[in-house]
Amino acid sequence: MRQVVLRAPRDVDVVEADGASVRDRPSSACVFEATGAAACVRLTTELVRPTGRIVLVGWSHAPVEVDTISLMRKEADIVGSRNSTGAFPSVLRLLEAGVVDTNTMITHRFPFERAPEALHLLDRGEPALKLVVAGP
């Protein structure tokens, strides 16, 4: 199980089940950032190997600093990805028309304060199709 550890407002780390930081592991050919959290976006340049690729999927709430010096030294690519580009209007129409029954898709619902429990459920590999964590 991996755990995200916030050390300070601008610093984040990901810790493996054995307690080792991903920073201590070999770098990755491709790093996907799916949270949009500024500290996680910044961590990607540290985790990607030379000539690797960073794919930004998560949406940030504001512009995020990226270590361009590391990107240039590593000759790494950074790519923005909008999964489901153009699909939202069609999906919303299907939902509005009642064609898609969301009750069969959403298998678990959690209030925001129980978000860690939702993540642990996924880590344990329990059957779950979609989890919804309702915001504060």
Looking at the structure, tell me whether residues 75 and 102 fall in a common domain: no
pLDDT digits (tens, 9 = 90+) for 47-78: 889 999 998 887 777 889 899 999 999 999 99
Of the candidates 81, 54, 58, 57, the residue with the CA atom closest to the CA atom of residue 67: 54
pTM of the predicted model as reported, rounded to 2 decimal places:
0.53
Q: Which domain holds residue 120?
A: 85-136
Looking at the structure, tell me whether residues 5 and 38 fall in a common domain: yes
pLDDT for 55 equals: 87
CA 24 from centre of chain: 20
Looking at the structure, tell me whether residues 22 and 61 fall in a common domain: yes
Task: Give the chain's domain count.
Answer: 2
